[in-house]
Structure 1
Amino acid sequence: MRQRTRHAAVSLACCAALLGPAAATAAAAPASGHDPARGTLPAGDGWASASGGTTGGAAADRGHVRTVRTWDEFRAALAAGDGEPRIIRVVGTIDANAAGCAAFEAPGYDFATYLDAYDPAVWGYDTPVSGPQEDARAASAANQAAAVQAYVPSDTTVVGVGRNAGIRGAALQIKDADNVIVRNLTLESPLDCFPQWDPTDGERGAWNSAYDAAVVHHSTHVWLDHNTFTDGRYPDSSLPRHYGELYQQHDGELDVVRGADLVTVSWNVFEEHAKTLMIGNSDGAGGTDRGRLRVTLHHNLFRGVGERAPRVRFGQVDAYNNHYVITGAADESYSYSFGIGFESRLVAEKNSFRLADGVSPGRILKKWSEAPVTAEHNHVNGAPADLVAAHNAEFPETPLQRDAGWRPTLRTRVDHPRAVPGVVVPRAGAGRIR
């Protein structure tokens, strides 16, 4: 990961810091009417504000500001780097998969033949799939990956213009980068054209897909703000079933993994998705993740999501003032919200939950591994609720420990949990930057 450049934005932040926290915040925060493309993360606003802050491409000169309207233009703007800060302005909705899935099919691949070859009645459930059709599927998947993944480099701001900017079918990769901002975009989850059948996954096998709408991978100082993450035209309810299992063509909406650090996720909408937001992707990744994966989530709306909001391994994660609207019944479309994973240190405070009928507060937390959690001053259906006590009463066989062992200090606006729905619902998501 190369040394960050801050240029004029750094000088502004440093001067403001000398004048005190209030001045630093005023200098960093975009003023009313200010171009969001030049906005920088306010001082003290979550983990991404630590250790130098996050300015993205705010200091870009005119020659490094690009406006794009197509997927090819977008990828060309990302690739045309010379180490200077850059701003990429997205106009309208651009589509990474406009040609359709057939354009990626490798020679010899045929889905009907694939289904016949690996039908559990023929193949069974004990052995991973292999052979000509699996090889052709993998080659087709590689073609799609090359076409729909886009890599966001250091010192870059990607921002939607106006209220209706977005990217469909793409997997944004913030990988090996530092100082990146993504704002004001509707990101429709990429549809994996070639999910792999794994007969050994669970008792009945499962279809596994490959792409997230955005991934922060071994990157630092990343701010994702006022975006809408959605399955859009292809909700899971629209997908077929094969071998009796959902033909799952979605993976996550946002993953923060593999040594990523100092990330702030604010004022976004995550909606109508199953596996939503994962922080840390493996219990065995301690060599890269231990002491990192520091992420702040605040004033986000999680609406109709099934799980991982977020699921955490290793990281010190601060989740406050988020609003959760649980629309599905337990054990059907809803599993849990906060996943307590290996060596995690999650602080979940002053969040608001609206639960569907039949969903108990005890399901909001799920214990995956032995790790302490701080869950205080949260509201469920408008009333204070002790989420740890609710979980331990309902699931006494997997009790949670209290006290994550640290207290967040990098917070700016903190709302009373009773006020959170009225604050977050009208203001979170793409097209709502003030």
Structure 2
Amino acid sequence: MRTRHIAVAAGLLGLLCVPAHAEARDISRDTLATNDGWASYGTGTTGGAAADDAHVYTVTDRAGLVRALDHGSDTPKIIKIAGTIDADTADDGTPLDCADHATDGYTTKKYLAAYDPRTWGSAKPSGPQEEARQASAARQAERIVLPVGSNTTIVGLGSEAVLKGASLQVKNADNVIVRNLDLRDAYDCFPVWQPNTGGLGDWKTAYDNIWLTGATHVWIDHVTASDQGHPDAAEPTCFGRNYLRHDGLLDITNGSDLVTVSWSRFADHDKAILIGNGDTATGDRGKLRVTLHHNAFTSVVQRAPRVRFGQVHLYNNRYEVTDGHRYSLGAGTESAVYAENNAFHAPGHIEVADLVKSWNGTALHQSGTLFDGYPVDLLAIHNAYNSGSERDLTADVGWTPTLHTTVDSAAVADRAVARGAGAGRLS
């Protein structure tokens, strides 16, 4: 009997404990599962899974990452990021800051003095300081913009892989995977002032943590995207507006198509996800097909997501709404958002009606929504309480998703996403 007890105990130990020398599963050749969202459509998304051994890289600094990306080449490649990589560094690894990029006499003080609306008026900035800003911005872009080519997989190793100060740009590329990576602080040293004859104007920034433009078959999974390190809330007010340093966390624009974003975390940011960049971009019709599932949106002010034109399936996501919130779901021109079984959490002064905004949109499907644990109808409440400046939305978006994993109840997904979304949580 004692022998049997020992054997049972040993078996349990084997189930519960992992030997110290055991290695984490190699995820670098994983491909997107069948039916896992729009990115599984047609040829599916395999990233760099076909890479030969000569094109599998483990990188620990910017120089190694740039070499592995190979100027956005289409050669199948797998890039594993180990530890923290700071993109804003010199070729020898020396950290750079905004002063290192400034050129041609640019300073923030001079720029603000030159284009103060009280003296400059509402015209678009031009002249020596704007030219110096553009030249300085180009110098920064050379460091932090990282082009990603077709047939590429970028994965973080372990639970602490970080890429900070970078803008990953997937431009006119196909078949790309980005997984298990903490993307922080795509910081713009040189925002441009955009006057507005009808109001205060605003600061325009250049960099998204990830920008898909003309990209197809892209899978983004277990990524964390945030401003960590330099929150815009800590920036000063200039010309009566927050001196923004960040654009989007993830922008999907310019005819991008067949994208799945899963088990990722978007946090502590103003404009999270933009799908479709213009009301007049009619070439986007039939494109911008995106699936967003099992993602966490935490302290995001707006665009979670904002959609134009695209057929977007939004299911099993978790929203933690905080002060400063403007809206979560933005229904834009010709958008067709199919939202089901999403869970929202909010402080008492935020109403259900605050969650949806119509930006020239006409339709939104919603079902199975929870708000602080209670079932709500986002569509009915939006239509009942909109101020009259927005049109009512109908429920018929003209399509029903067929490419998806199991759609859990909002309550079940809520708990799973709280535990499992984001970088370093990939099992």
- TM-score under structure 1 normalisation? 0.89
SS in 1 for 2:155: strand
Whole-Å separation in 1 of the counterparts to 2:173 and 2:40: 16
One-letter amino acid matched to 1:412: T
On the 8 A contact 1:230/1:272 being kept in 2, the answer is yes
Cα RMSD for the two superposed structures: 1.4
Question: Aligned letter for 1:410?
Answer: L
Of 205, 229, 233, which residue of structure 1 is paired with 2:229?
233
Q: Report whether the alignment pairs 1:132 with 2:139.
A: no
User: Post-superposition shift, 1:121?
Assistant: 2.0
Q: Deviations over 1:25-63 (max 9, x none)?
A: xxxxxxx96311111111000000000111111122211
Superposed displacement of residue 75, structure 1: 1.1
How far, CA to CA, are the matches of 1:396 and 1:238 in structure 2? Answer: 32
Per-residue Cα deviation, 1:309-342 (whole angstroms, up to 9, x for no partner):
00000000000000000011xxxx1110110001
1:170 partner letter:
A
Match of 2:304 in 1: 309
Q: What is the match of residue 190 of structure 2?
A: 194
Deviation at 1:383, TM superposition (A): 1.0
Which residue in 2 is equivalent to 1:408? 401
* Counterpart contact for 2:72–2:148, Cα < 8 Å: no
**Paired residues of 1:166 and 1:187 also in contact (CA < 8 A):** yes
Deviates more, 1:114-123 or 1:209-218: 114-123
Alignment-derived partner of residue 166 in structure 2:
170
- The one-letter code sitting in structure 1 at the alignment partner of 2:409 is H
CA contact (8 A) 1:189 1:253 kept: no
Deviates more, 1:177-186 or 1:397-406: 397-406
Alpha-carbon distance in structure 2 between the residues aligned to 1:270 and 1:301? 6
One-letter amino acid matched to 2:311: Q
Aligned mate of 2:257, from 257, 261, 279: 261
Residue in 1 aligned with 2:238?
A: 242
Within 2, Cα distance between the matches of 1:263 and 1:349?
18
| Paired position in structure 1 for 2:355 | 364
Q: Does structure 1 conserve the Cα–Cα contact (< 8 Å) formed by 2:72 and 2:147? A: no
Partner of 1:305: helix, strand, or coil? Answer: strand
Q: Verify the 8 A CA contact 1:272 1:304 in the aligned structure 2.
A: yes
- Structure 2 unaligned regions, length at least 5: 1-22, 89-94
The one-letter code matched in structure 2 to 1:242 is: C
1:15-30 aligned within 5 A:
none
- The question of 1:343 aligning with 2:339 is answered no
| C-alpha distance in 2 between matches for 1:91 and 1:337 | 34
Cα deviation 1:216-274 (Å, max 9, x = unaligned): 11111100000000110111221112122211111000000001000000000000100
Matched, 1:214 2:210: yes
Task: Report what 2:344 is aligned to.
Answer: 353
Question: Which residue of structure 2 aligns with residue 117 of structure 1?
Answer: 114
- Secondary structure at the aligned position of 1:38 is classed as coil
Is 1:40 aligned to 2:36, yes or no? no
CA distance in 1 between counterparts of 2:404 and 2:229 reads: 35
Query: What is the deviation of 1:82?
Result: 6.8
Contact 1:189 1:212 in 2 (8 A): no
The answer to whether structure 1 residue 297 and structure 2 residue 288 are counterparts is no
Alignment partner of 1:427 out of 420, 424, 427: 420
Aligned partner of 1:25 in structure 2 is none
Mark the CA change 1:82 to 1:404 in structure 2 (over 3 Å): closer, same or farther. Answer: closer
What CA deviation, in whole Å up to 9, does each residue of 1:52-99 have, x standing for no partner? 111111122211101111112111110177754210000111111231
After TM superposition, give the deviation of residue 150 of structure 1 in Å: 0.6
2:74 and 2:152 in contact (8 A); partners too:
no
Q: Give the aligned residue type for 1:123.
A: W
Preserved contact between residue 255 and residue 288 of structure 2 (Cα < 8 Å)? yes
Aligned to 2:92: none
Identity %: 48
Opposite residue 220 of structure 1, the aligned amino acid is: T
**Large movers: runs of 4+ above 2 Å:** 80-84
- 1:102 corresponds to 2:99: yes
**One-letter amino acid matched to 2:414:** P
Cα offsets for 1:344-394 (capped at 9, x unmatched) = 111011000001221110111100013211011111110111001111111
Question: Any unmatched runs of 5+ in structure 1?
Answer: 1-31
> Displacement, 1:207?
1.2
Task: Rate the CA distance shift 1:201–1:140 in 2: closer, same or farther, 3 A.
Answer: farther
1:413, CA displacement in angstroms? Answer: 2.4
**Contact 1:153/1:178, CA 8 A, preserved across alignment:** yes
Deviations 1:174-221 (A, max 9, x none): 111111000001001311000011222751121111110001111111
Question: For 2:303, what is the secondary structure of its paired residue?
Answer: coil
User: Structure 1 residues 202 and 274, CA, compared in 2 at 3 Å: closer, same or farther?
Assistant: farther
Distance 1:362 1:36 in 2: 41
Larger Rg: 2
